[in-house]
Amino acid sequence: MGTDRRRPDHLVERLVGDLPSAVHRRALEVVAQAYVTREPLLRAVLGDADTAGMFSWLRQLPYIEATPEGLHPHDAVRATLEADLRWRDPERYDDVRVRVSLAGLRAVRGAAEDDALLRVAEWMFLFRGQGGGPDELYNYRTHPHIEDTPLRPEDVPEVLRMAEEAEGSAAAVGHWVRRQPEAFRVQRYAGSPAPVSFMAILRLDAPLPEDRAEDPVVAAVWDLVETAAPLRPGEHLGIRRFAVQPGGHQRPSPLMELISRRAIGEEMRSHGRAVTFTVFEDADRWGHYLAEAGMPQLAAVDVGGRRQHIFGRDWRRQTVEQWARHRARTTVTPVTTWPTTTATSGPGDQLPRAAFAEGVLEALRTWHIPREFATSVLLHSHLVPHGSPDPTADLRGAIITALDAIQTDPAGVKAHEALTSAYITASRTHKAAARRLGVPYGTYRRHLALAKERLTDQLLRQPTTVTG
């Protein structure tokens, strides 16, 4: 029997049948991307649609399973719906993923402490096809037999023993246990009080001599910050300093998965964090993955005879919201998130072109979503005066000025029309924008690609603004 060469839309028809409306199809597209679908997620993606009605319709479908967690599609339906949308409308496919990712970010931030790790795991499911790291670290399931708990006083001797055996870092761990015991998390098997692994996420806002003296990794981190990304008032840095499991290797495992979830959740839920670092001994295993995620290796330090590698990210160059959007897209290049030169008037002033271009696109996409527009990385760029009383208004003004300025030739006029129709006047879809302009969809997409390049170039050329 030959291979079934039916297009994805034919398979969709066979599996799900006729759909009542475009909104019903959109609801199915959400279900296909999310690990579990609840009404708040549908509302976040569908907007003004009848969310309650859509949810009731979904739960009655024969290929959707209603569980205590929410709605799950059968695996074959999920895969087919995802492939169909990606084939049929790649931009909308990415748009759905971005909206699901941002909804997941909000769910993590709004979760109670006991639920936060589960919400992180649900968010991470969105990236299952991208690989969660070496050897597919993340399996997107909870591990009920492993408990993530605070450090207890009786844990300290075993934690110090594991630290020395794994990476020769008992002295540094002992220092931080005394200095920031709340930074430590200990993993245990259910029903057993004994620690089986541990981690620590340190929060620091100023370099202290004793920290530098007791921990060479933290000394190197402060050197990096003071050289290239000085903290400003109210800012702090975070560092995932330790991640120790049995055997002394940071190999993929359920324990390392739980540690990674905790670290990701901390980044999502923290406030005022300017820069983040993570430390791995096994750079060969983790280095490429972290670089692709926008965290380059910045330094390496010997601790107890073992080499510890430091990877870093500056959140002032790509906000958490920007990161959640960027990562959800399927065709993106990594954003450089660490400055290569000393910051003078602010890290955002020196955004590399890739990060700047990504910021321009996000500003356009969130033009009519004030809460998301207000997180734009461009608010820290030369487009906004330092000390501005209304930075979002200044950024909007700079973009409108640049839009007007690209109309220097017929191609620029078409670029202006494409961007204005797609984002500023808010057509519902790119195909609707093409119809509004009276051009074929393929032609419209070429105009739009050119428009984004021209607008980015124009904004980069705009002089630094100053307060009057």
pLDDT in tens, 160-215: 999 998 888 899 999 999 999 999 999 998 888 999 999 999 999 998 999 999 99
Residue 350 has pLDDT above 70, yes or no: no
Q: Residue 36: phi, psi to the nearest 5?
A: -140, 140
**265 neighbors 117 (Cβ within 8 angstroms):** yes
Per-residue pLDDT tens for 113-125? 888 988 998 998 8
Helix (H, G, I), strand (E, B) or coil at 51: helix
pLDDT above 90: residue 435: no
Q: What local confidence, expressed as pLDDT, does residue 195 receive?
A: 93
**Range with the lowest mean pLDDT among 127-141, 281-295, 327-341, 369-383?**
127-141
Q: Taking residues 18-37, what's their average pLDDT?
A: 87
Q: What is the residue whose two structure tokens read 């021209």?
A: 454
Torsion of CA 113, 119, 121, 122, to 10 degrees: 170
At residue 56 the predicted structure's pLDDT band, cuts being 50, 70 and 90, is very high
Q: Of 33-37, 140-144, 252-256, 436-440, which gets the smallest average pLDDT?
A: 140-144
Tokens of 165: 């055996």
Domains of the chain, residue spans: 8-130, 146-314, 321-461
Q: Is the pLDDT of residue 137 over 50?
A: no
Q: CA–CA separation, 43 vs 56, rounded Å?
A: 13
pLDDT (0 to 100) of residue 358: 79
**Residue-level pLDDT at 127:** 81
Q: How far apart are CA 235 and CA 251, in angstroms?
A: 33
Nearest to 310 by CA among 241, 215, 389: 241
pLDDT > 90 fraction of the chain, expressed in percent and rounded: 28
Instruction: State in words which class domain 146-314 has.
Output: alpha beta
- Average pLDDT for 62-88: 87
The answer on pLDDT for 325 being more than 60 is yes
pLDDT for the residue numbered 133: 47
**Residue 141: is its pLDDT beyond 80?**
no
- pLDDT score recorded for residue 17: 66
CB 140 within 8 A of CB 69: no
* Residue 248 confidence (pLDDT): 63
To the question of pTM greater than 0.95 for the whole model, the response is no
Residue 349 clears pLDDT 90, i.e. is over it: no
Mean pLDDT of 404-427: 81
pLDDT tops 60 at residue 39: yes
pLDDT for 272 beyond 90:
no
Predicted pLDDT of residue 344: 37
- Let me know if 16 is exposed, middle or buried by CB neighbors in 10 A (0-12, 13-18, 19+): buried
